Amino acid sequence: MKQALKVTTLILFIGFLSNSVYAQGVLTFEDVMKFEDIKTPKISYKGSWLAYGVWPDRGDGYALVQHARNETQYKIELGSNPIVSNNELWAAAYKKVPLAVQLKEKKKAPKQGLSLVSLQNGYQSEYENVRRFEFSNDRNWLAMSRYQSKEIEDLKLKNKKLGAEVTLINLKTEKEFQFPFVASMAFDSLSNYLAYSVVDTNGKGNGVFVFDFKTESTKDIERVENGFYSNLTWDYKREKLAFTSATLDTTFYDSDAELKLWNASNNKIQTLVKSADTKQEWALRSNNSITFTHDGKRLYFGMMDQAMVDVDAKSHQPKKDEDAEIDIYDVESIIKDRGMDLWHGEDPLIKTQEKVTWNRRRNHLFTSVYHLDKKKWVQLADHEMPSVRVQQSPNVTLGNSNVPYQIESTWDGSYNDWYVVDLNTGKREKFLTRLGGYAQLSPEGKYAAYYDDKDWFLYDIKTKTTNNLTQNIDVPFYDEDHDFPSDVPGYGIAGWIEKDEGILIYDKFDIWNFSTKKSSVINITGGEGRKENRIFRIKRLDDKIAIGKKEKLLLTSYHDLHKNFGFYSARANKAGVSKLLEEDKKFTILAKAEDSENILFTRQAYDEYPNLWISDNATFKKTRKITQLHKDLKEKWNWGKAELVDWLSLDGTYMQGVVIKPDNYDPNKRYPIMTYYYRFFTNRLHDFDVPTTNHRPVFAQYVSDDYVVFLPDIRFEIGRPGFAATKSLVPGIQKLVELGIADKDKLGLHGHSWSGYQTAFIVTQTNIFAAAVSGAPVSNMTSAYSGIRWESGRARQFQYEKTQSRIGESLIEAPEKYIENSPVFFADKITTPMLIQHGDADGAVPWEQSIELYLAMRRYNKDVVFLQYHDEPHHLQKFSNKLDYAIRMKEYFDYYLKGIGEPEWIISGEPYLGK
């Protein structure tokens, strides 16, 4: 019998990979792997060209550079991440290595290359071993950083700062220039220079240089043996280059650095900050981030904690003489080899979180600013206030500190004290204590806005007064759908009016303009959002930091009941909206051409692939479809159609869900149901579900194979998350039965992570499901509560007391709630066959949670199978594992809901055979 079962399973497995076994129109696993998807779409500077990749879920793809108004297009085989030059004469894309070569050659496989395409005649030039590339702003020059040769790579194991070869191409003349051992490079914004630094094998050629495009010659800015130059940063509009300068010792560890400025107009270097200028507990290092303000008057940079620098220095100290005598009784030497972490009750962060955040904390930059016009610098951040915002405002910025609240963040939310920081003196003044959200500075630095306790506030920095903006408005500015035990958040700031004269703030549906000088307020969407259940949001098409007083605004819209999308317009200074485009589709703006009004966007629906469209301008009166991917979708597969369904939860709450039916849906037939859910899913009504092999089911695959897919919304209650999920979902399933859609004996339930928990819990409360798949679930809240989220190092306590798990109290305060909401305590009530999946390197949900559920069900002789995937995180990453899980998931539902096959792994398991 077992041999027969093996043959049946093999045939079923092959059937999943080949269309020949299924009826025509069924989406197979091979189809999923081959399904092409548009990647990294871009519109050119003038809007005349589009560049994008077309790649399948598995296998080789290509890039296309396509004219926006005619049929001209150039295909780059194996091309990825293509871009078009600003002058629209060239396009370039990385050239990937074929997957078959990667799998066969593995580490010996060749590196990616580059394809350069002339948009005048389509001629393609190929370059090998290209790590990255960049066009100059005028797109007349192309710089390519190469992968190192094997010999140089071996040297780089010792000296990680060693540079790589760079090829610079004059695209007008096709003349090439080679620069060896380039450690970093940067084009200036005016396209006059390429700055680059060199770190070579013996240190004698180290320095920082600029290549002048006019003379096609190199200038030495500074050249020092064993020098190390980094953070090359050009001013936005001026020919000035800032950088850090340090030296490398014999272990290739860089010294304290200096901040320098080179001025192209006079070819002079200015030392702005010397290492000796810093205080004893701080160090200026090459590990840095440098930013010019747009007006060119200030240069932001960072200081490092000297204690952290000392830790790095110790790791670079020469090793002790290996020939020296060893005292086997030297206590200090013996103890040095101990393996131990000391957990103290007063630690700001628990040890696991300390470890995960170590590199971030070690390399943290404490913001400082150099005033170029005043020739002085000021350190702004320190240990008491470690975070300072880099802003364009001339006189002040904002700083924040979570230091006083780090211990309680283990079980509570994240809080900060907020400060106004004087850029000229570094002096700070606290204006907010223990804020759970964020504060935002106005562009000119006159005001700070923040949300707290369901209202928005405006703090006047000059007068030090605070005004509650929303207290007298009779609509809520807090999240109306919030169902977590944390403080209720707001909907955010939409922008600031120029000269700091107003601030735009969202409620759930509408946009409000609050004057900063008067007590006036304008609902610029005229209340149409709330009246029509339409959510309006501003879509900025430029990078301006302020909105014009009378500016015409482009709005996106989403209907909260009908779930469709569109575009509207409004004015910043008056009430009312005008419809531009709205359909039963989903629209997404991708980009606007920098030098034209052309807008790149996608249109999609469940059964319409999101091809690329262009609108001539923001009115959307003239639009055209550019790409034609999957126009034969319905001809090839029984893809299905999505529609809304509604019902009342057990407590009378209005609920909605998405039902996806096959194209050949027969109203006289009842279908097996595959339910997939998390929280709110009806906003996906018009989402095209791109077939991808991963931890979740591919909707079209199930629909094309005669299932109906159900995507219900779930509304939660604090303290009763499992019960709330049950009373939301079960009536929705019953509604499908009442409508004649669902076969009541063929109901399937699938969830992963949070919905994996819901799945495990729901089947303890009802026996209506014929099969359930639960991926990475929490099964025992009492043990999970004091566990660790290993990927972040955080204790899981905050999750139950404040966020997703929604208990709202500690385990000690409310142990009964943790027990009542834990599936493991009710495993004896389960009658539904369950497939559990978990990766044993899960950093979000401890995989032991699945073991607990498996053991509990096994103890009570329940129908359970547990798939443990080795060395896998919360979501499976290895393609072989993803495909295996997808196949088994489909086999599981087919077996229990359709009676197809007799998979031995379901019926009698698989023995361990030493692998």
pLDDT tens, residue by residue, 457-478 = 999 999 999 999 999 999 999 9
Residue 18 has pLDDT above 80, yes or no: no
Residue 7 has pLDDT above 50, yes or no: no
Comparing CA positions, the residue from 481, 583, 566, 496 lying closest to residue 529 is 566
Residue 13 has pLDDT above 50, yes or no: no
Structure tokens at 782: 């009492």
The crossing angle, in degrees rounded to 10, of helices 721-738 and 754-765 is 70
Task: Look at residue 207 in the predicted model and tell me its pLDDT.
Answer: 98
How many CB atoms sit inside 10 A of residue 328's CB?
Answer: 7
**Tens-place pLDDT, residues 203-238:** 999 999 999 999 999 999 999 999 999 999 999 999
Structure tokens at 66: 């396509």
**Tens-place pLDDT, residues 856-915:** 999 999 999 999 999 999 999 999 999 999 999 999 999 999 999 999 999 999 999 987
Kind and range of the H or E element at 7?
helix 2-17
Kind and range of the H or E element at 144?
strand 141-146
Q: Please give the Cα distance from 700 to 839 (Å, whole number).
A: 26
Q: Please give the Cα distance from 509 to 491 (Å, whole number).
A: 9
Which backbone phi and psi does 449 adopt, to 5 degrees?
-110, 145
Q: Please give the Cα distance from 791 to 614 (Å, whole number).
A: 41
Structure tokens at 495: 């922008």
Residue 8 has pLDDT above 80, yes or no: no
Q: What is the 3-state secondary structure (H, E, C) of 780-843?
A: CHHHHCCCEECCCCEECHHHHHCCCCCCCCCCCCCHHHHHHCCHHHHHHHCCCCEEEEEECCCC
Comparing CA positions, the residue from 523, 517, 516 lying closest to residue 477 is 523
Place of tokens 């998390």: 678
Burial class (CB in 10 A: 0-12, 13-18, 19+), 913: exposed
Kind and range of the H or E element at 736?
helix 721-738
Structure tokens at 237: 């509009």
Kind and range of the H or E element at 879?
helix 879-893
Comparing CA positions, the residue from 144, 200, 16 lying closest to residue 693 is 16
Residues 444, 498: contact at Cβ < 8 Å?
A: no
Confidence grade of residue 10 (pLDDT, cut at 50, 70, 90): very low
Which backbone phi and psi does 635 adopt, to 5 degrees?
-75, -35
How many CB atoms sit inside 10 A of residue 816's CB?
Answer: 8
The alpha-helical segments, DSSP class H, found in 471-623 are 528-532
Helix (H, G, I), strand (E, B), or coil: what is residue 540? Answer: coil
Burial class (CB in 10 A: 0-12, 13-18, 19+), 198: buried
Task: Look at residue 795 in the predicted model and tell me its pLDDT.
Answer: 96
Residues 191, 137: contact at Cβ < 8 Å?
A: yes
Q: Taking all residues of the chain, what is their mean pLDDT, rounded to a whole number? A: 94
Task: Look at residue 23 in the predicted model and tell me its pLDDT.
Answer: 43
How many CB atoms sit inside 10 A of residue 855's CB?
Answer: 15
Confidence grade of residue 846 (pLDDT, cut at 50, 70, 90): very high
Task: Look at residue 321 in the predicted model and tell me its pLDDT.
Answer: 67
Task: Look at residue 337 in the predicted model and tell me its pLDDT.
Answer: 87
Residues 514, 508: contact at Cβ < 8 Å?
A: no
Q: How far is CA 219 from CA 200, 222, 258, 262, 495, in A?
A: 18, 9, 21, 12, 44
Residue 24 has pLDDT above 70, yes or no: no
Q: Please give the Cα distance from 609 to 629 (Å, whole number).
A: 7
**Tens-place pLDDT, residues 325-383:** 888 899 998 898 899 999 999 999 999 999 999 999 999 999 999 999 999 999 999 99
How many CB atoms sit inside 10 A of residue 809's CB?
Answer: 15
Q: Please give the Cα distance from 442 to 142 (Å, whole number).
A: 38
Place of tokens 């205080």: 279
Distance of CA 309 to the CA centre of its chain: 30
Q: Show Cβ contacts of residue 242 under 8 Å, excluding neighbours closer than 6 positions.
A: 231, 232, 233, 234, 235, 259, 260, 261, 262, 272, 290, 292, 299, 301
**Tens-place pLDDT, residues 592-603:** 999 999 999 999
Residue 790 has pLDDT above 50, yes or no: yes
Q: Show Cβ contacts of residue 324 under 8 Å, excluding neighbours closer than 6 positions.
A: none
Task: Look at residue 153 in the predicted model and tell me its pLDDT.
Answer: 76
How many CB atoms sit inside 10 A of residue 781's CB?
Answer: 28
- Would you report the helix, strand and coil content of the chain in percent, each value rounded to 5? 20, 35, 45
Q: Please give the Cα distance from 774 to 752 (Å, whole number).
A: 6
**Phi/psi-derived region of residue 565, left when phi > 0, alpha when psi is between -120 and 50, beta in every other case:** beta
**Tens-place pLDDT, residues 796-805:** 999 999 999 9
Residues 448, 442: contact at Cβ < 8 Å?
A: yes
**Tens-place pLDDT, residues 496-516:** 999 999 999 999 999 999 999
Direct distance between the N- and C-terminal alpha carbons of the chain, in angstroms, rounded to an integer:
25
CA dihedral of residues 101, 103, 105, 111 (deg, nearest 10): 60
Structure tokens at 197: 């630094």
Residue 752 carries which side chain, given as an amino acid letter?
H
**Phi/psi-derived region of residue 663, left when phi > 0, alpha when psi is between -120 and 50, beta in every other case:** alpha
Comparing CA positions, the residue from 774, 758, 739, 765 lying closest to residue 865 is 774
Helix (H, G, I), strand (E, B), or coil: what is residue 184? Answer: strand
Q: How far is CA 860 from CA 84, 602, 807, 856, in A?
A: 63, 52, 27, 7
Q: Please give the Cα distance from 77 to 723 (Å, whole number).
A: 53
**Tens-place pLDDT, residues 161-187:** 999 999 999 999 999 999 999 999 999
696-715: average pLDDT:
98
Q: Please give the Cα distance from 347 to 342 (Å, whole number).
A: 10
Residues 113, 79: contact at Cβ < 8 Å?
A: no
Task: Look at residue 159 in the predicted model and tell me its pLDDT.
Answer: 81
Task: Look at residue 6 in the predicted model and tell me its pLDDT.
Answer: 40
- The DSSP 8-state label assigned to residue 898 in this structure reads I
